[in-house]
Structure formats: structure tokens, C-alpha cells
Amino acid sequence: MDRRYSIHMKAEMDVGTNRKAFQINLDHQKYGTFAEIGAGQEVARRFFHVGGAAGTIAKTISAYDMTFSDAIYGPADRFVSRVRLNTMLDHEYDLLLERLEAKLGDERAFFVFADTVAARSFKQHNESHGPGKIQVDLIKFSGPAFANIDNRLMSLQLVSQGLTDAVMFTADGEMVQPSEILHKKAILIERGSFRPVTYATNDMLEGARRQFLKESGCSEKDLVVLMEMTLENLLSEGQLNHADFLARVDILGALGRTVLISKFGEYYRLAGYLSRYTNRMIGLVMGVPSLIEIFDEKYYLNLEGGILEALGRMFKHGLKLYVYPMIDEKTGKITTATQVEVAPNLRSLFQYLIDNRHIEEIGDYQKDFLRIYPPAVLAKLKAGDESWEEMVPPEVVQIIKEREFFGYRAAVAA
């Protein structure tokens, strides 16, 4: 071999993706199919490009046209979806076994790699995945080899490692693509630490939900309710505590809630993310303290347009804030959303949002629940003060006791 060519190949193989693909091509055991639709053809191209693909690839297929795709894999409501991906995997793997098992089954480990990628349309500004950095918005391990893997922790890693903006799982712990759940739905979302979920947490959400349904005109089946935790919240103690994270998620699951984990510290970024998936009404549920934070200009120093830019981006899609009142422990005075004091230079802007009903008071609430604060509940729980049980729903009490979440110990309580 010419020495110059050898040096050139070595330099190219030093590139991470190329090197990995080349190593797989040299692994005699792996053999299978790459099946791609949408804008997913780049994966198979990479294996051909680095050389040695004959040792890895039995077949590649790219049913780019929807009619061809339906003819091969059957009809689907959405092409960039997990349902279509599973159909592709099953179809192509069955063909591998049918055509090659007798010949190569004893010496090769068959695989199917399938992907479906939405590319940016030239005609419209649709949600896309492929033009820039690839995002992985769902990861799921299944099968006997991964019996001890908790997919919720794997999803958390996607966010913490910067591979995606947000991940979602249902009450039963099932990983789902956000687009599967949010597509063309009205969305109501409550952000919190949920350490633990209290009566106030639920009261806030239910009060907002009743108003939201009335004002939006949508039905229950067209509404998605989400409980969101930010990565910033989960890192509040300096590092990710997996046991603590799973405790919060299990409690929300016991209450039948769908969970969103995001990296959006600012509300305007969360609003922008949700608006990718729907043109229906979006409502953010929060308490008065969070509303006060939204109108603190120090949080927007990184934006050229400051707080004006942030609020413009937050409310441009007709989003609404549903705000739970706050009570002063000493005086008993209740402060509602419209009574919040903001900086003098922001009063007109604040009043504009109130007058145009971008900010709504939650009027239907239980006054006694206003005095329930999760940190106080947690402190009582850890101290063995049984009065914490009066501040959270029965389902939450049960799961905390059974699994000894958040430092609860039966012996301490006794």
C-alpha cells in the first residue's frame, strides 16, 4: 500500500464516527440491514464511506416516497414515529431470518438498524431533526440483556448529556416521544420539584385545569396535562441523585401523571419548545413566587432584548399563565396574580399582560392548602413528625412509606 494513502486513511479513521463505523465493519459477527425513511439515509452512507461494508451490510433500503413506504411496511398515520420504526424493525428482521438464517445463522449475529428522520421542508418551517446536530429524544432498552436497565434513568441521561432538550414518560414509566403525546393537543403544564407532591400541588393543577377547559373550549381528550421538572431543579444538590429522581417520578406515576424532564430553566424556552408540537392553547401553571421571578430582569441579562424579548417569545403563541395565590404566614393576607408588585419600570408591561388575559388568577382553590409548602413537608417527614401525612394525598403517603422515599424511616416515625 502507498504510504501516503495509509497516512490519509489513519487521519480519517481518527474521526470518532468514522472510526466506530469502520470497527463495526471489521467485526465479522455483526451482519444485517439498514432501513431508513425520511431523511435517514446518512447512517448507511457512513458505513459504505469508511470501507469494509461488505462485512456488515446485507441490505440497505430507503423507502423515501410515502407510497413505497406504505406498500412495504403498511399504512401509518405519521411516518416519523415510533410506531413506524417498530414496523420497519419487525419487517426487516423477519426477512433477514427468512433469507439468511439457514446459511449464516450459526456464525453471524443478525441486526436491523432502522431510523426515520424529519428534514426541514423548503416550503414550511416544520419540526426537523437532521440538518444540524442530531437530537435523540427517546431511548429505550428492552429484552433480557437489559432487564436491570431503568429506561427513565437512561432518558435522564439524554438531557443531562445534552443529547436532547426534553424527555417524556407516561404514568406507567413508558418512554414516549413528546411528539406522540403533544401533536395538535392543548397543553397544560405544571413545573415543580414535587419533593413530594402535596395537596397544594394538586389543588393548583386542578384549579388551573378547570379554568383552562372552560376558556380553551377543548375537551378532556384533547388536553394533555404534564408535570415538568427541569435539569436545574434536579441538580439543586450539586449532582444528579438517581434515587431521589426516581422517587419523584414514581410518586407522579402513582397519581397518573405524565412527566416531562427538560433543560429549560427559563419559561420562555419551555413555551417555545411546546409550541413546536401544537397550534392549540398552552397553559403554564405556577404559584405567585414563580410569577415574581418571571418579572425579575436579572434572569434575562443574556438576551439582547432583555425581559421584553423573553416575554415576547413566551407569549407569542397565545400562551397563558395560570397563577395560584400566595398567603402571608404572619398576616394571613392572600396575594393573587393581579396584586403582584413588580419593578416600577415594568408595571405597564405587567398590566398589559393582565389586561389581555395572558396572566390569569386561579380563582378556584382551597384556602387551607395555601399554607402547605413542600420543603416544610419534607422536613417534617425526615424528622419523624407524622403531621406531614396530613399535607399530601393518601396515594403519596402510601408510596413514601412503602418505599421509604426521601429519607422516611418507619422506625424514626415510630
pLDDT digits (tens, 9 = 90+) for 105-148: 999 999 999 987 766 666 655 555 557 566 788 888 988 999 99
**pLDDT of 7 over the 50 cut:** no
DSSP state of 201: H
Lowest mean pLDDT among 37-51, 166-180, 315-329: 37-51
pLDDT at 125: 58
Q: Report, in this order, helix, strand and coil percent for the chain, each rounded to 5.
A: 50, 15, 35
CA distance 43 to 399: 44
Q: Which amino acid is at 129?
A: H
Q: Which of 247, 205, 202, 208 is nearest to 393 (CA)?
A: 202
* Cell numbers representing residue 35 in the block: 432501513
**Terminal Cα-to-Cα distance of the chain (whole angstroms):** 78
pLDDT at 390: 96
CA distance 40 to 154: 23
Per-residue confidence at 81, pLDDT binned at 50, 70, 90?
confident
Per-residue confidence at 76, pLDDT binned at 50, 70, 90?
confident
Question: What is this structure's pTM?
Answer: 0.82
CA distance 95 to 86: 14
CA distance 377 to 363: 25
pLDDT at 317: 82
- Stretch 208-236: mean pLDDT: 91
Q: Are 88 and 37 in contact (CB under 8 A)?
A: yes
| pLDDT over 70 percentage in the chain | 90
Q: Which residues contact residue 334 at a Cβ distance below 8 angstroms, ignoring those fewer than 6 apart? A: 325, 326, 327, 328, 367, 370
| pLDDT over 90 percentage in the chain | 70
**pLDDT of 322 over the 80 cut:** yes
- Stretch 29-33: mean pLDDT: 94
**pLDDT of 12 over the 60 cut:** no
CA distance 303 to 301: 5
Q: What angle do CA 300, 346, 327 make, to 5 degrees?
A: 90
pLDDT at 357: 94
Domain 3-134 grouped into CATH 3.90.950: yes
CA distance 139 to 178: 12
Would you kindly state where each structural domain of the chain is located, as residue ranges? 3-134, 151-413
The dihedral over CA atoms of 14, 16, 17, 20, expressed in degrees to the nearest 10, equals 80
**pLDDT of 101 over the 70 cut:** yes
**pLDDT of 414 over the 70 cut:** no
DSSP state of 376: H
pLDDT at 8: 46
DSSP state of 135: -
* Cell numbers representing residue 362 in the block: 386561579
pLDDT at 9: 46
pLDDT at 44: 87
Cβ count near 404 (within 10 Å) = 12
**pLDDT of 86 over the 70 cut:** yes
Lowest mean pLDDT among 32-46, 116-130, 261-275, 336-350: 116-130
- Residues facing 224 on adjacent strands: 187
* Cell numbers representing residue 171 in the block: 404514568
The CATH T-level fold of domain 151-413 is Rossmann fold (3.40.50)
Task: Write the CA distances from 135 to 36, 47, 161, integer angstroms.
Answer: 17, 20, 11
Q: Which of 226, 259, 266, 225 is nearest to 245 (CA)?
A: 259
Put residue 400 in one of left, alpha, beta given phi > 0 → left and psi -120 to 50 → alpha.
alpha
**pLDDT of 257 over the 80 cut:** yes
Q: Which of 373, 379, 381 is nearest to 397 (CA)?
A: 381
The overall average pLDDT reported for the chain is 89
**pLDDT of 184 over the 50 cut:** yes
Q: Which amino acid is at 375?
A: P
Q: Are 96 and 32 in contact (CB under 8 A)?
A: yes
- Compare 317 and 249 and report the one with higher pLDDT: 249
pLDDT at 5: 41
